Amino acid sequence: MTAYIDYAIGLLKDKGFRITKPRRLVVELLDASREALSAYEIKDLLEANGEKVDTVSVYRILQCLEENRLVHRVLTSGKVKKCMLEHEEQCSLAQEEHCHHLLICKACDAIEEVHCPGTRVLVDALEAQSRFKIQSHNMEFIGLCAQCV
């Protein structure tokens, strides 16, 4: 078991959620995937592995994972990527909201979570310029990953 699986299953168990077979399968699949996945893709990938999980259940499992901040929702595609809260905690902003800092590779669809060192500066500049009080943010950076450059 990798760190993510332990982390996700442990967190769900601690919060009183039941560790069912479909939940475990979805968590394992998300852990193994470099890319973000849609509910249908998850259902199909599991089926290809001989594991049948209803699409509706996948939707509900993803909702549960999202509410527990165990996945990111990629805004540009609506798909879901595993997420380690450790990375989130380093974010100096947006304690309440689930904030996204994702690097998305155009070529291979790989997604990397990142901690944004310059975010504070940017947000301060924006607040000064706009008179908005910023509480959270979503950022997606599209480009080429190290392997695809």
Give me the 27-66 binding string for DNA, x by CB under 7 A, dash otherwise. Answer: -----------xxx-----------xxxxxx-xxx-x---
Q: In which element (H, E) is residue 113 found?
A: strand 111-113
Min CB(46)–DNA separation in Å? 9
Pick one of 2, 20, 55, 76: the residue that binds its own copies (CB under 8 A).
76
Residues contacting its own copies: total by CB under 8 A? 37
Q: What are the φ and ψ backbone dihedral angles of 35, each rounded to 5 degrees? A: -105, 165
- Count residues contacting DNA (CB under 7 A)? 22
Q: Give the one entry of its own copies, DNA, none that residue 68 binds, where binding means its C-beta sits below a cut-off of 5 to 8 angstroms depending on kind.
A: none
CB atoms under 10 Å from CB of 9, counted, come to: 18
123 binds its own copies (CB under 8 A): yes
Buried b (16+ CB within 10 A) or exposed e, 44-74: ebbeeeeeebeeebbeebbebbeeeebbbbb
Rounded distance between C-alpha atoms, residue 60 and residue 63, angstroms: 5
Number of neighbours of residue 41 by Cβ within 10 angstroms? 16
Binding mask 78-117 for its own copies (x = CB under 8 A): -------------------x-----x-xx-----x-x-xx
Q: Which residues bind its own copies (CB under 8 A)?
A: 75-76, 97, 103, 105-106, 112, 114, 116-119, 121-126, 129-146, 149
